[in-house]
Amino acid sequence: MARRYTSPLTSADVTPKGLYLNRRQIMAGAAGILGAGLIGGGARAQEAQAPNTFEEITTYNNFYEFGTGKNDPARNAHMLTTEPWSIEIDGMVDNPGTYMLADILSEMTIEERIYRLRCVEAWSMVVPWNGFELNDLLDLAGVQDGAQYVAFETALRPDEMPGVSRPIIDWPYREGLRIDEARHPLTLMATGIYGEPIPNQNGAPVRLVVPWKYGFKSIKSIVRITLQEEQPVTAWNSYDPREYGFYSNVNPNVDHPRWSQATERRIGGGLFARRQPTLMFNGYEDEVASLYEGMDLSVQF
């Protein structure tokens, strides 16, 4: 199995809510940093890295199933029933079926991961997630040879999601990763923020977090995971493939057709704060660049 990722950020970077966290996990993270020394990409990503407040993370959201305004998810997502919750795991797996989330969680190790989140709209945050590695869930399902991609689907519940009555994207929200991206130790299934259960507006009860890709790849409130041979059809890519690539790796050198990606606005930085430079792979270059060796990132963006 791939090495585990240790966050270059320490418990000292987390505001008091972080104290709810499992102490052993925090200590393990700190030991990892001392042991490993500075990790290149992670160290660079550490600039201006204090996590955003719980308030910022939970009131400025994109979750179009609950409306397209940044504050709509915070106002509407309470309508989503998150308990009980199950995930259908199907396609090229040894153990297909409907998994209760509670059963999955009993098999998983929950860790804290303080990650940068960079939206394709050129704003960013730093979020202290809690979650487990997608890789561990894939092992539980038993990935078969030949499975080259993982497809994900968000719940589609018109009764609970006022936003889906508008045909903004072709619902349900869908996303996908290549299998090596899905198995990368940075790729997290998040169940919490600041040591608290993840709020509905952030994708309760379980959502994907792929920190080196634009935020829309990090699909929320997941009900289905499919292992397959072909590249999955995904919501934003099929909406407009020129604007939203399948890969959507954060890249300051590849602009969105309608705006520059060279800089970003840090949420909570204040109205007059200077924009900060966008980091290649969102600051995780040392961890993930090898996944894309030999690819022309301006073509396969």
Ligand X SMILES: Nc1nc2c(c(=O)[nH]1)N[C@H]1C(S)=C(S)[C@@H](COP(=O)(O)O)O[C@H]1N2
Sole binder of ligand X in the list 85, 99, 194, 216 (CB under 6 A): 216
User: Is residue 133 within the footprint of ligand X (CB under 6 A)?
Assistant: no
Cβ atoms within 10 A of the Cβ of 66, count? 25
- What tokens does 82 get? 């998150």
> Considering only residues 134-173, where is the footprint of ligand X by CB under 6 A?
154, 173
Torsion of CA 236, 241, 247, 250, to 10 degrees: -80
Sole binder of ligand X in the list 52, 61, 124, 187 (CB under 6 A): 61
Alpha-carbon distance 244 to 248, whole Å? 7
Binding partner of residue 130 among Mo ion, ligand X, none, CB cut-off 5 to 8 Å per kind: none
DSSP three-state, residue 151: strand
72-80, 163-171, 212-220, 279-287 -> range binding Mo ion (CB under 5 A): 212-220
Q: What are residue 8's DSSP bridge partners?
A: none
CB 117 to Mo ion: min, Å:
8
User: Is residue 301 within the footprint of ligand X (CB under 6 A)?
Assistant: no
- What tokens does 182 get? 């899905």
> Considering only residues 30-49, where is the footprint of ligand X by CB under 6 A?
none
User: Is residue 119 within the footprint of ligand X (CB under 6 A)?
Assistant: yes
63-71, 80-88, 237-245, 278-286 -> range binding ligand X (CB under 6 A): 63-71
99 vs 152 by CB, closer to Mo ion: 152
Could you tell me how many residues of this chain bind Mo ion (CB under 5 A)? 4
Please give the sequence-ordered ranges of beta strands (E in DSSP) within the chain, or none if there are none. Answer: 86-91, 97-100, 111-118, 123-133, 149-154, 174-178, 188-193, 196-197, 207-209, 222-228, 263-266, 276-277
Sole binder of ligand X in the list 11, 39, 65, 249 (CB under 6 A): 65
Q: Are 151 and 238 in contact (CB under 8 A)?
A: no
Q: Which residue is nearest to ligand X (CB)?
A: 215
Alpha-carbon distance 291 to 137, whole Å? 21
CB 62 to ligand X: min, Å:
4
Strands 222-228 and 86-91: parallel
Sole binder of ligand X in the list 92, 117, 141, 164 (CB under 6 A): 117
User: Is residue 234 within the footprint of ligand X (CB under 6 A)?
Assistant: no
Which spans of this chain sit near ligand X (rule: CB under 6 A)? Answer: 61-65, 117, 119, 154, 173, 202-203, 215-216, 218-221
